[in-house]
Amino acid sequence: MNKLLLPFLLGALPLAAVIADEDAPAARPIVETVLTANCHKVLDPLGCAGMVAAEMPMEYGGSQIIMAGGANFPGDKVSAAGLPVQGPKVFHDEVTVLSPTLGGVFSVGKLPYPVGYAACASTDKGMMIAGGCNADGHLKRALMVRYYRNKFKVTELPELPISIAYPAFTETDGKLYIFGGQETADATEALKRCFVYEGGTWRELAPMPDSGRMLAAAGVVKGKIYVAGGCSLHPDADGKAERTYLASVLVYDPAADSWSTASDMPETIVGMATPMQTFNDKLYVVGGDPGNYYRATLTGNAPANHPGQNRAVYAFNPEGGYWSKEGENTVGVATAPCVLIGNTIYTVSGELRPRVRTPLISAVKLHAEEDENNGEIHIPEAPQR
C-alpha cells in the first residue's frame, strides 16, 4: 500500500489523512541518497560545473559513465590580509571515465578544445557534445566522443546553426534535441530557438512559445519532451542581462512539431541536473538554484553568505499532471550533468555556490512504490574512506 501523501491533484481533490498501522514495517522511501563517504569523485579536486556526461556500454556488458569538460576557478585564494582574491574562470578539456571494473575514475583523453555548459547525449556511437562555451566565447562546434575496448576517439560533427551555451537538452529515438540557451555571453535575451540532430544534420524546430529560456532541463516521457524551469533574460538599467527565474513547464511534441504546457514546478529552479531522467514514467529534477539568493541581491537584501544550492529531488507525473517532492540529495548542486544507470541517478560534480564546486559524483537511488527489491546498480559505490 502506498503510504505517501500526494498534494492536491489540480486543486480539486479533498485532503485525506492516511494513518499507518504502528506495527506495519516502515515504507521504503521512493528516493534513497548515497552517503557522501560512499560517493566517487571527479579527478579535479576542486570539481567543475558545466561538465558533460553520458552512459556508455562496456565490452563485456554493464555500463560506465564518460565525463568531460567543465569550468572552475583554480586561481581563487585568500590574500595575506585575509581578503578573497578572485582568479579567472578556467575551462577544461579532460575526458574521464567512471568504471566499475577499475572501481574508480580515470583519465582516457582530451577534447580538441576546452568546453563547459554544452548539450550532450548518449548515442550508439558514443557521447555527443554540442555547443557550450569557453574563454573564447559561445560555440557552434559539435563532437562525438567514444571510449570502448580501451580505445579513445573524438570525431568532429557538423556545427550547430548558431552558437549556443546553457541549453536544455535530451535524447530520444537516437536524436539530440536542444532547446533555448544563450547565443552570446553578453546576450540580454535567452534563445527561443530549438534544434534536433538527426541523420547527420541539424534541423530547426518550432520555437518555444515564451520569452526564451536558458539553464532549463529537458526530459522525455512517452514520446513527449518536457522543458522545465530555467530563466529568461532581460536588460537591466545598465543594459546588462538580468534573470527572471521560471517554474513553468513546456511540452514539445516531436511528431507534431508543436508546443503545449504542463503543471508548474513547486518552485523556480535554474541549472538543475540535466537532462531530467525518467524512471517509471516520472521525470526527476535533482538540485539546482531556486533563485532566492539571486532575487535578494537585486533588492540589496542578500545574506552575507550564500545558503547553497537546492538539495530537493522532485518528481513529475505527466499522466496525473502533478509534482511531488520525493526526497533530498546529500549535496545541493547546480549546473551539473546527470546519468541514469539502473535505478540510480548519478549527478557529476557541479556548483555548490557561486565560484565553489564539489568533486563529488552524488547518487540517488529511485524505487518504484510497489517495488520490493533494490533494483540493479551497475556502478558500485566507492569504497568506504
**Structural domain range at position 131:** 31-366
**For position 166, which CATH number holds?**
2.120.10.80
Q: pLDDT tens across 278-317, in order? A: 999 999 999 999 999 999 999 999 999 999 999 999 999 9
Domain-located, residue 378: no
User: What pTM was estimated for this model as a whole?
Assistant: 0.89
Domain-located, residue 249: yes
As a three-state string, the secondary structure of 78-139 is: ECCCCCEECCCCEECCEEEEEECCCCEEEEEEECCCCCECCEEEEECCEEEEECCEECCEEC
What is the C-alpha separation between 380 and 198, in angstroms, rounded? 34
Task: Cell numbers for 236, please give them.
Answer: 537591466
Domain-located, residue 373: no
Domain-located, residue 382: no
Per DSSP, 298 falls in state H
The pLDDT value recorded for residue 195 is 98
The pLDDT value recorded for residue 185 is 97
Domain-located, residue 287: yes
Domain-located, residue 24: no
Give yes or no for a contact between 180 and 167, defined as CB atoms under 8 angstroms apart: yes
Domain-located, residue 314: yes
Residues 6+ apart with CB under 8 A from 222: 281, 318
Question: What is the total count of domains within the chain?
Answer: 1
What is the C-alpha separation between 30 and 270, in angstroms, rounded? 24
Confidence check: pLDDT of 15 > 80: no
Q: pLDDT tens across 169-213, in order? A: 999 999 999 999 999 999 999 999 999 999 999 999 999 998 899
